[in-house]
């Protein structure tokens, strides 16, 4: 549905899903985000994710020329990461791929200096206020990215994307690694601003 339907229609589905909630809301939000990234990519524009106040980073910008959805099962999704082009926003075609909803290069901007750095973002899209970090899944993602000569030397980050500032302010990532060990960022992409 996310590849066939336009942004306006997906926004209507998302608004309807807000009254229903649960899994439908999460799926509608995820499809909308992928669609918006695809549209921005086609126009050569960025998608900006705002971070929670007091964060080390002010914002995250996704600006890539290519969007790709592939992988028919868990193993083929992991294989996609080993060959992922550095200028691509990839999300699994397999709807049950665990732990992450997209992988892409992006820029994170420091909230103090304004300087940016490029990272490989493991994106987890959620409408919930809490998620459990899974170190074994992170290890597998890192193993696959390490096989990729274009991405293996880049810093990586786990980026949680929620639909509004309330989720950003109250979100809790259980069992998150220490920031010195692995960068985690909570961010917001608000569909109401489309």
Position 115 confidence tier, pLDDT thresholds 50, 70, 90: very high
Q: For 122-135, give one letter per residue: b (16+ CB within 10 A) or e.
A: bbbbbbeeebebee
Token pair recorded at residue 90: 């990839």
pLDDT score for 93: 96
Predicted model pTM: 0.94
pLDDT tens-digit readout, 1-18: 556 788 999 999 999 999
Average pLDDT over residues 156-181: 89
Task: Determine the Cα–Cα distance for residues 117 and 42; give it in Å rounded to an integer.
Answer: 23
pLDDT score for 22: 79
- From the list 141, 111, 136, the residue with the least C-alpha distance to 123 is 141
pLDDT tens-digit readout, 138-152: 999 999 999 999 999
Average pLDDT over residues 119-148: 95
pLDDT score for 194: 86
Count of residues making up the chain: 194
pLDDT score for 180: 82
- From the list 59, 65, 146, the residue with the least C-alpha distance to 104 is 65
pLDDT tens-digit readout, 19-66: 998 789 999 999 999 999 999 999 999 999 999 878 889 999 999 999
Cα within 13 Å of Cα(177), Cβ side: 16
Point out which residues pair with 185 in neighbouring strands. 159
> Could you tell me the residue ranges of all domains in the chain?
46-193
């Amino acid at each position: 549905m996310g590849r066939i339907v336009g942004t306006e229609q997906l926004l209507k589905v998302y608004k309807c899903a807000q009254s229903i909630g649960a899994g439908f809301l999460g799926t509608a939000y995820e499809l909308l985000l992928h669609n918006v990234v695809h549209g921005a990519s086609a126009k050569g524009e960025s998608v900006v994710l705002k971070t929670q106040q007091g964060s080390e980073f002010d914002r995250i910008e996704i600006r890539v020329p290519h969007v790709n959805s592939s992988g028919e099962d868990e193993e083929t999704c992991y294989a996609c990461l080993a060959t992922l082009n550095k200028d691509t926003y990839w999300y699994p075609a397999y709807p049950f791929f665990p732990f992450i909803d997209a992988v892409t290069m992006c820029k994170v901007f420091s909230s103090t200096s304004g300087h940016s750095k490029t990272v490989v973002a493991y994106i987890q899209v959620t409408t919930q206020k809490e998620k459990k970090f899974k170190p074994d899944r992170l290890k597998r993602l890192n193993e696959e990215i390490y096989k990729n000569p274009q991405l293996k030397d880049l810093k990586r980050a786990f980026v949680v994307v929620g639909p509004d500032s309330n989720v950003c302010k109250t979100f809790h990532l259980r069992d998150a690694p220490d920031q010195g060990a692995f960068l985690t960022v909570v961010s917001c992409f608000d569909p109401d601003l489309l």
